[in-house]
Amino acid sequence: MILHLERKNQWDKDIDTIDKLFSSTHEAYIPQNVIGIQNVSSASKITNLNNLVVNKNEGQQSNVLMVYCFYDHDNSFDRVWAYFIPSSGPIEVRRPIRTCDNFGSWNMCFDEEYEDINNNSV
């Protein structure tokens, strides 16, 4: 099984990262699984990037996990949106939230858990 992983912290390298994930290679080295982890400037870019992934994967037919990290200015926390884009079938989405408490410890939970925590703390 072949896995191709690309990770970038620079949000302006998002398209370059996707291009690298789907670059030409020998047929024997086409990855069955591809993972891209990258920072993006905002959530509004994700739909276009996922469309690019789907288009580039048409020939390669890999199972793709794309993880996008960005800062949510409205809510003052980091978001990490993960999209599993299989070679066939529907796209699956998970959307965790990442926060740092006053002691410097990082915490992560999914959107629905964050809403439950906030509703129960009132």
Give one DSSP letter per residue of 1-50, joined into a string. --EEEEEES-GGGHHHHHHHHT----GGG--SEEEEEEE-S-GGGHHHHH
Under a CB-based contact definition with an 8 Å cutoff, are residues 52 and 93 in contact?
no
Hey, what are 55's tokens? 């288009």
Nearest Cα neighbor of 65 from 38, 41, 33 is: 33
State the average pLDDT over residues 43-48: 94
Percentage of the residues of the chain whose pLDDT score is greater than 70: 91
pLDDT > 60? residue 116: no
pTM: 0.83
